[in-house]
Structure 1
Amino acid sequence: MGECVYIRLKYRAKIKPNEPILLKDIANIIGHDEVTEKVGNLVLGKFSKDKDVFILDVTVVLQAIFLHYPELSMDTYGPSQTIVEVIRKKKKVSRIGFIVVWLILFVGAAFAIMNFHEDVSMRQMHERLYYMITGEHSKHPFIFQIPYSIGLGLGMILFFNHIFKKKFNDEPSPMEVEMFNYQQELDQYLIMKENNMYSSFLDDD
C-alpha cells in the first residue's frame, strides 16, 4: 500500500475566473510535505461557462488523484461536496443610487415606526403618564417623548450590535444570524440542485 494522504474538502472555496482549479484551493491536505505539495498542485479543471457558483464532489477529487497518482492511498473526512465560488470584479456602487436607496429605506422605516406608534396609541400613553406624574394635562409631553425617541435609536443600535462598521462586542447581531441562516439554506439548495451538474462546469486538461 502506498503512502496515505488525508483530504478534507472546504465547505466553501473561492477562485479567480479563467484560472485552473487546484486541489489545494478547494481542500485541506495532510501528509508528508513532498506528497501534499504535488497533490495540492493537481489541476482539477477550469471554468468553461459563465457560472459564479458550482458544486464539486469529493468523488471528482478522488478520481483525479487516482488517475495521476495511483500509488497513493487516500482517506477523506469532512464535507462530501464543496461550494466553489468565482471571484469577479465588483462594480463600483453609484453614490446617487446609494443615496436614493438610503432615503427610501430611511423614509420607509420612519413611516413604519410612526404607524406602529399610532396603532398602539403611544402619544396618548405619554400624555396619560405625564398627567399621572404631574397632575397636569399636556398634548406635547416632551419630557417623555424626547428621551423615548433617543432611547429608541440607541436600542436599535444595541440590538443590531453595529454603528456603521464598528461592533460593540464579538457576538453576532440578529441580522448576521439571519444572513448566516439564509446562506446555509442557499448553499443547501445549490448542493441539492446542482449535485449532478458539476462535471459540465469543468474542462479536463
Structure 2
Amino acid sequence: MQAIIYMRMKKYVYITPPKKLTIADVALLTGDQQLVSSCNALPIKEQTSMTNKVQVIEAFTIIQLMQKVDPTIDVQLLGASQSIIYEQKQNNKPKILLMLFVWLLLFVGSAMAIMNFHYDVSMQRVHQRLHYLFTGEDTDYPLWLQIPYSIGLGLGMVLFFNHLFKKKFNEEPSPMEIEIHKYQQDIDQYVQYYENPLNHSKHDKS
C-alpha cells in the first residue's frame, strides 16, 4: 500500500553557510507522521556547500531523495515546484555611511528633478498669473500660493507612497511596493531558469 505524502516547496530559503540543508529546510511535508519525520531529516547532499550565492532546488530532486527511503511513497506536490536558496551573510551590520550617502544622493536628485520640472512648466509664472487673477495685483513672489503648494506637494508624495518612515496609512500596497514585487518576480524567474541545475544539464547536452 502506497503512503501518500503531501509536499509544498518553500519559495525562499535563507541559510548561513556552512549549513547542511535537509528536506525540512526547503519543503513542508504532511502525511504519516513517522514517514514525514524520517523524510524531513534527509540531507540534500548537492547543497551542503554553496558555490553560488543563489541556488535552486527542484521538487523532482526532493521526490527522488524521499523515494530512496521508501520507493512506495506517493508524493503529491502542492504549489511551486522549486525553492530558491539564498546565502545569508553572518553579522550583516547596516552600513551607516553608505546609507547616508544613498539618502543624500536621492534627496538631491529628487529635489533637482522637481525644480527642473517646475522651471520647464514655468510654475512661478503660473502662480504669478493666478495671484493676478485673484487679487488684480502683480507680484514676483505670491507666497500665499507658493507655500501651500509646496506643503501640498510633499503631503501628496507621502500619501502617494503610503508611507511616512515606518508608518503606513492603510493596508493597500503603495506603487513602490507593487513595482518592487514585480521586480522580485522577474528576478525569481531569471534565477529559476539560469540557476537551475536541470536546465544547465539540458544546455550541456545540446
Provide the rounded CA distance (Å) in 2 between the counterparts of 1:50 and 1:184: 23
Counterpart residue identity of residue 139, structure 1: D
Stretches of structure 2 that go unaligned for 5 or more consecutive residues are 202-206
Pair 86,100 (structure 1): closer, same or farther in 2 beyond 3 Å = closer
CA contact (8 A) 1:54 1:198 kept: no
* Residues 168-187 of structure 1: pairs in structure 2 closer than 5 A: 168-187=169-188
Provide the rounded CA distance (Å) in 1 between the counterparts of 2:70 and 2:178: 43
Provide the rounded CA distance (Å) in 2 between the counterparts of 1:87 and 1:96: 22
CA contact (8 A) 1:7 1:74 kept: yes
Counterpart residue identity of residue 121, structure 2: V
Pair 93,77 (structure 1): closer, same or farther in 2 beyond 3 Å = closer
SS at structure 2 position matched to 1:43: coil
Bigger relative CO (Cα 8 Å, ≥ 6 apart) = 1
Counterpart residue identity of residue 110, structure 2: A
* Total equivalences in the alignment: 200
Provide the rounded CA distance (Å) in 2 between the counterparts of 1:77 and 1:10: 11
Pair 16,197 (structure 1): closer, same or farther in 2 beyond 3 Å = farther
Q: Percent identity between the aligned chains? A: 42
Provide the rounded CA distance (Å) in 2 between the counterparts of 1:119 and 1:42: 65
Runs of 4+ in 1 over 3 A off after TM superposition: 197-200
Aligned to 2:14: 14
* Residues 124-203 of structure 1: pairs in structure 2 closer than 5 A: 124-196=125-197
1:68 Cα deviation from its structure 2 partner: 1.9
SS at structure 1 position matched to 2:171: coil
Provide the rounded CA distance (Å) in 2 between the counterparts of 1:6 and 1:150: 56
Deviations 1:152-187 (A, max 9, x none): 001111111111111111111111111110010011
* Residues 68-107 of structure 1: pairs in structure 2 closer than 5 A: 68-89=69-90, 91-107=92-108
Provide the rounded CA distance (Å) in 2 between the counterparts of 1:88 and 1:197: 27
CA contact (8 A) 2:9 2:81 kept: yes
Aligned to 2:27: 27
* TM-score scaled by length of structure 2: 0.89
Provide the rounded CA distance (Å) in 1 between the counterparts of 2:197 and 2:96: 42
CA contact (8 A) 2:5 2:31 kept: yes
Provide the rounded CA distance (Å) in 1 between the counterparts of 2:119 and 2:51: 51
Aligned to 1:203: none
CA contact (8 A) 2:22 2:44 kept: yes
* TM-score scaled by length of structure 1: 0.90
Stretches of structure 1 that go unaligned for 5 or more consecutive residues are 201-205
CA contact (8 A) 1:3 1:71 kept: yes
RMSD: 1.9
1:148 Cα deviation from its structure 2 partner: 0.4
Pair 95,81 (structure 1): closer, same or farther in 2 beyond 3 Å = closer
Provide the rounded CA distance (Å) in 1 between the counterparts of 2:104 and 2:110: 10
Pair 198,85 (structure 1): closer, same or farther in 2 beyond 3 Å = farther
